Structure 1
Amino acid sequence: MKHLMALAPESGASMVCVSSRLGMVGMSNQTLYSAAKGGLIALARGAAVEWAPRNIRVNVVAPGLTMTPVIEASFQRRPDPAAHRRLREESIPLRRLAAAEEIADAVLFLACPESSYITGAVLPVDGGYTAC
């Protein structure tokens, strides 16, 4: 962090980290991934407190399952891709996967002046998954 801080402006900036819903909840066979994403959340919260006197805000977006080429390919490797997708969607309260643009919009919000009094926050963009 000290090397990153040396690159930061003297005052006023916003840093948005992208973690995962799995940084806040456990899932079978995802232990190491969850640990890494949870560690990023802890790092961001510590940096938010440390850098607040310089008006440098640090926040986290924690996406849920998002329709990306990697996720689409993982569905296609299943015997019944459509059934697997429906099963995954049923685990999400909004009953759908996120679009990449929805995650980008959350990052943009936390980076812009409209969120100037938010720091150290984790914004789940997961269709309600972590609310359960």
Structure 2
Amino acid sequence: MEIEPIKRYEILIDLYKHYNDILLKGTAFIYAVISGLFVFYITNQTIPNIEVLLYLLGFIIILSGFLFYFSSNLIDNVHKEFLDVSSDLELKFMPSVKPLYYFLKINSISMVLTFILGSKCLA
């Protein structure tokens, strides 16, 4: 069953809005969790076995980096679909998903750098 191009366009716009909303809320949540755990680690150095928290932080940072990286690939697929739909509808404009794509890539790189620098400084 073929979907009309205008309906595909509306679906893609809704999908883009949904991805953008999830990205903003998810990024804020991830950075809040990482910051909270790091502050807890710094302020509670006297607790026995607090070093385990460093492994948890490392795991969360690496997991977040992978999440951002693979999400950017999904967004790139949405961009390609936008190009197809805009050519079908002969549109002269379309919403750009590239800022979202680059934001995810930058977050992915920042997570990797945070892990590398954090492991060197805290080890």
TM-score, with length taken from structure 1: 0.37
Report which of the two has the higher share of helix. 2
Report which of the two has the higher share of strand. 1
